[in-house]
Amino acid sequence: MLCQKQQQQFRCIALNASALLLYSHKNKPLPVEHSVLGGFSNDYSLAQQQRRNLYTSKFRMAPTSEENKSKPIGLVAIDETRRFMTDCFLKSKTSPENSKAMADLLAEADYRGHFSHGMNRLEMYINDLHKNSTDGMCQPEILNETPATAWVDGKNGLGAVVGNFCMDIAIKKAKQVGVGVVAAKRSNHYGIAGWYTMRAMKEGLIGLSGTNTSPLMTPSRSLEPALGTNPISFAAPANNGDSFVLDMATTAVAVGKIEIQRRKGEKIPLGWAYDEQGNMTTDANLAFTSGCLAPLGGNELTSGYKGYGLGAMVEILCGILSGSLYSNKVRKWTHVGSDAEADLGQFFIAIDPNCFAPGFTDRQTDMNNILRNLKPVDPSKPVLVAGDPEREHMEKVDKEGGVRYTPNQIKTCEELAKRLNIPPLKFNS
């Protein structure tokens, strides 16, 4: 048996070995004005990087002088974040109910520390609504239903509106027959996948959800991106408010992290992205312009095909099952919005653990404790379970009385407030 340190060294060797395995591919990549890249601003990267300081390697974290210059400023209470975003949606052809659903989703993302999918995305949704590529007023509709399943037409509604509708059906069915499985077509970007799985978890159920997204992931051995960052989330309740909430993209890294390395003029680690010739690259500029993200696991030698498989599985449960667009048929998405309907597919599953062995939450609590109490490699970095980093971020926000946004994000909010004629974002300090 290898000890923990040996296992870690082995992983490092495998990763370095993968550096030698530079792929050459048959075809030219798709032209990438990868607009989708525009969806992840520096705002995300800075805040996320800072959050990760707590948990990850120095390589990812060490702030440069440039990064220091644009450190987050301006503390905003979560309620004010929600108020501002609700106002923006209300002025963008969206019903009060739907505006609230979107603001709740986006505020939760910032609260949990996933800044890429909170206020950072607001402008894109607003632009889509003004271009009429998303319908802010509509309500989804059930197309076909059995006791345990439902097929839903999102009718091009906002992501949270479709997602909440679908997960609520799954929850109802799970409570009635033990499981609820819902697939939606004609949906839009639905933010953090964990929002929906935690909705089921709050009802004492296990939640599972995923969405397809604009193509950015390059499958193992491919020169072209053909799957999105296709996130998946799994949430399970434990005792006394504890839980296990896995919520992750199926690509090796979010594209915003490449963007920040590029801005800092620093390299990216091997395993994140490919250049336009299909070689793994450490050049952040090349990675950014190619728009070819590696699947979770990176290269083939480091089992990237497993991340590719996971991303494809999400695509099957979303696009293929629901009859929405899928793979490279999904549109690209930009900060200026899109003229085309997204027609994304999403799936939502709720499972009632009470249909199985009694004492689920006791065992889940026990397992969490076993994992958290494992001897850490570095005593200053305890072993975590999925959801712990977000929990720590929320505690920090509560302690400080709000979320800190970067100057870039604040500037975007000022512009939005003027454009939509709403009260600007108010700061605590």
Q: Give catalytic residue positions.
A: 189
Residue 35: name the closest of 391, 360, 291, 294 by CA. Answer: 291
Residue 251 Cα to chain centre, angstroms: 10
Choose between 140 and 194: whose C-beta lies nearer to ligand NAD.
194
Q: Which of 22, 61, 77, 384 binds ligand NAD (CB under 6 A)?
A: 384
Residue 46 Cα to chain centre, angstroms: 16
Choose between 55 and 427: whose C-beta lies nearer to ligand NAD.
55
Q: How far is the CB of 344 from ligand NAD (least distance, A)?
A: 8
Q: Which of 125, 190, 288, 326 binds ligand NAD (CB under 6 A)?
A: 190
Q: Which of 154, 180, 194, 304 binds ligand NAD (CB under 6 A)?
A: 194
Q: Which of 34, 83, 100, 117 binds ligand NAD (CB under 6 A)?
A: 117
The reply to whether 191 sits near ligand NAD by the rule CB under 6 A is: yes
Q: Which of 98, 156, 213, 412 binds ligand NAD (CB under 6 A)?
A: 213
| Alpha-carbon gap, residue 413 to 389, rounded angstroms | 27
Q: How far is the CB of 150 from ligand NAD (least distance, A)?
A: 21
- How many residues bind ligand NAD (CB under 6 A)? The answer is 27
Choose between 175 and 372: whose C-beta lies nearer to ligand NAD.
372
Q: How far is the CB of 352 from ligand NAD (least distance, A)?
A: 23
The reply to whether 254 sits near ligand NAD by the rule CB under 6 A is: yes
Q: How far is the CB of 385 from ligand NAD (least distance, A)?
A: 6
Q: Which of 160, 192, 284, 325 binds ligand NAD (CB under 6 A)?
A: 192
Unique residue bearing structure tokens 């440039």: 66
Residues that bind ligand NAD (CB under 6 A): 55, 114, 116-117, 189-194, 211, 213, 229, 231, 233, 245-249, 254, 384-387, 389-390
